[in-house]
Amino acid sequence: MPLFVYGTLMDPDMLGAVLGRDPAAGWAGAAHLPGHDIVAVAGRPYPMLIRRTGARAAGHLIAGLDARDMAHLRRYEGRSYHLRRVRVRRPGGALVAARLFVCREKAGRHGWHLKHWQKRHKSAALRQLPRPARAVGD
């Protein structure tokens, strides 16, 4: 089952660093989660989803993740996020079952945008990744 990513993991450099490999083969295309919006976690530079009528959280599907990949992703997401199954909508309207990391923290008041994160926080986030998450072939 693919993983739906909507935040920092939409950045190919971040996803590759977390997985410890080139993620290009796993990109399975765009999708969105109906009835949800992407907002900043309160006091943090990373995002979470909240339910919002009429909204649609845009993201990407990542396929072909194995147990090692999922272990790296769980380590990256930490205790604040847990996996859940959802149905996301692909361009063209098809619904697809996917996994999704959902945040347990308090939502901030502002939306979250990938381009803003890339400009202001990406380089620091890449430097702060735990070493095992960046090691290729671990």
How do the pLDDT tens digits run along the chain, 138 residues long?
A: 999 999 999 999 999 999 999 888 888 999 999 999 999 999 999 999 999 999 999 999 999 999 999 999 999 999 999 999 999 999 999 999 999 999 989 999 899 999 999 999 999 999 998 764 444 444
CATH label, 3-125, candidates 3.40.50.720, 3.40.605.10, 3.10.490.10, 3.10.129.10? 3.10.490.10
> Cα(29)–Cα(136) distance, rounded to whole angstroms?
24
User: Is the pTM here over 0.75, yes or no?
Assistant: yes
Q: What is the number of H-type helices and E-type strands within the chain?
A: 5, 6
Residue 66 phi, psi (nearest 5): -100, -175
Neighbours of 31 (CB within 10 A): 25
74's tokens: 């769980």
Write down the domain spans for the chain: 3-125
Read off the DSSP letter of residue 73.
Answer: H
